[in-house]
Structure 1
Amino acid sequence: MPAMPSSLLEPLWQQFAVLLPRRSEFDPAHPLGCHRRRVPDETVFRLVVEALVHGSGYERVAITGCSDWTIRNRVKHWSALGLAQELHRIALAAYDKMIGLGLSELSVDGCQTKAPCKGDQAGPSPVDRANQGLKRSTLVDSGGIPIGLVSAGANRHDSVLLGPTIDAARRQVGNLPADATVHLDSAYDGKPSRQVLGAQGLSGEIARRGAPAPIQVGKRWVVERTQSWMNGYGKIRRCFERDGRVVDFYLYLAAAFVTIRALIRRARNLYRWPHRPTARRLR
């Protein structure tokens, strides 16, 4: 069974292939003028998606003709180029063109996951007996489409990551509307968060500390749903990567899949195209 439905994997691969730098089939710097053929990028990309979905190590998804070191080196190269961020930016542009991003109502929240191997973006988790964990701060639009993501150690407070998360969203979609409202939970109820929102030219609807959540849940439930979508990917739910750029690569790759899945589900009722998925569950 494929790791991802072809209706999701194929369009993302086609866009990802356009972003890849041109490289010859053989290594021109080889001293004998010959070398083994380079493993095709499409083969490596599909194995990377398997690792993302299942959370498996590279040695478990490696196949004959593509070793785990080939996958690992290719991921490091792609993450250094920022290709996952650019892929996510393309997916957001497609969604905005066909459906439209709801940027007037935004939501931000953090989510803690496990990071057993420590690394650049890991830290002691205050909710997991100080075991190493990863915090993911996510900004979504009114429909729950992930726009900006920031990774940090699990011991970082949500309010500290609010500013970098908004900056990450601006890099992905451009300037946010001046009248946009950011919905936040009680963890952001403090002067630092309000100062960040004021400096960014945004207004905030922040839940008060001490009040029951169901009474003041507001419109931020969409970010909770998006966090659960992101946690559906094994590599995000339990991250063994140590390089911070590789961690961000997988975060934005998962966000691109979440965006494209939402785009297909919304667009199939509005548009017609060959091989349009009709089943409720994409496959």
Structure 2
Amino acid sequence: MSSLPEIANPQRKPYASDLSDAEWEVLKPLLPAPKGFGHPVEVDFREILNAIFYVQRTGCQWEMLPHDLPPYTTVYGYFQKWQRKGIWQQIHDQVRQKLRRELGRDQHSTVAIADSQSVKTTGKKGEVYGFDGGKKVKGRKRHIVVDSQGLLIGVVVTEANAPERLGAIIVLDEAKEKLSRLEVIWVDQGYSGKNFANAVQQVCGEQVRVEVIERTSQTFEHLPKRWIVERTFGWLNRFRRLSKDYEVYSEVSEAMIYGSLLRLMVRRLAI
């Protein structure tokens, strides 16, 4: 059984989601620096992150945070501010590059894998809401692109009835600065067709080819190359906050995904 991490606040017992000393040293230099003017920051950012990771891991509501963590209004305030400024994605991408270097990989992958996942919402959530007729799911769809290690390159959350091809193109377009060395993108049969392949080349360059990994039977099949992105969806399932889409805004859902996978990468780097 793994021991619980040491924590910055000795007045409380640690939670399994807390950052260890080594994990905190990975994240500490990546956090936004103080402005240098105005009222000095008095919060403990390590405890703020511990509280955010607690919500992501357990799936609890913000106002249900344990009282030995910082006030939920402060915690959610920082989560929301960092989401609006794109800081969750920025930190995630920096840690991803560092982890790829640790794995002996170039920071820009030559391989990408695209897929989507339809998830239920707790009722109708804002304007981004729909029905996926194929999966029989009312809610939203997570479109992701990962590298050959299953690490997230980009994500966009749409209504559940949004086309897979369109979602993948949006993700690739938003992440094209991280795809300068891309040579091939692996997809399932839902992304087949010349129109999708042409759109990929328009976004990522004519050198990129689309390789469709097809099924050979109607029963469960372990598809080579395709299991990588399925494993990434499995990683998301470790976080109860992502078991459904609980967020009102799709941008907050995307920040939750970046934050959850950031937590996993930090743990790998600190081993």
Which bin holds the TM-score, normalised by the shorter protein?
0.7 to 0.9
Rounded to whole Å, the distance in 1 between the matches of 2:194 and 2:44 is 52
> For 1:159-170, what aligned pairs fall within 5 Å after superposition?
159-170=165-176
Partner Cα separation in structure 2 for residue 246 and residue 240 of structure 1:
10
Distance 1:20 1:244 in 2: 27
Aligned to 2:254: 248
Q: Distance in 2 between matches of 1:120 and 1:76?
A: 19
1:14 aligns with 2:33: no
Q: Tell me if the contact between 1:231 and 1:237 (Cα under 8 Å) persists in the aligned partners.
A: yes
CA contact (8 A) 1:112 1:136 kept: yes
Contact 2:23 2:269 in 1 (8 A): no
Q: Describe the SS at the equivalent of 1:22.
A: coil
Where in structure 2 are there 5+ consecutive unaligned residues?
A: 1-14
Give the distance between the partners of 1:205 and 1:212, measured in 2 at CA: 20
User: Which residue, 176, 179, 187 being the options, matches 2:181?
Assistant: 176
Q: In structure 1, which of residues 193, 196, 200 is the aligned counterpart of residue 196 of structure 2?
A: 193
Name the TM-score, length of structure 1 as normaliser.
0.76
Higher helix share: 1
- Structure 1, 62-71 or 236-245: larger mean CA deviation: 62-71
Aligned-residue sequence identity (percent) comes to 20
Equivalent position of 1:104 in the other structure: 110
Which amino acid in 2 is paired with 1:13? L
Letter in 2 for 1:176: R
The residue aligned with 1:81 is 85
Partner Cα distance (2:219, 2:109) in 1: 24
- Corresponding residue for residue 142 of structure 2: 136
**Matched residue, 2:227:** 221
Q: Contact 2:145/2:171 (CA < 8 Å) preserved in 1?
A: yes
1:175 alignment partner AA: S
TM-score between the two structures when normalised by the length of structure 2: 0.79
How much is the aligned-residue C-alpha RMSD, in angstroms? 3.0
Instruction: Determine which of 151, 154, 158 is the counterpart of 2:157.
Output: 151
Deviation at 1:42, TM superposition (A): 2.9
Equivalences, count: 251
Q: Which residue of 2 aligns with 1:281?
A: none
Match of 1:3 in 2: 17
Runs of at least 4 residues off by over 6 Å: 213-216
Task: Note closer, same or farther for the CA distance 1:49–1:215 as it changes in structure 2 (3 Å cut).
Answer: closer
Farther-moved stretch of structure 1 (147-156 vs 52-61) = 147-156
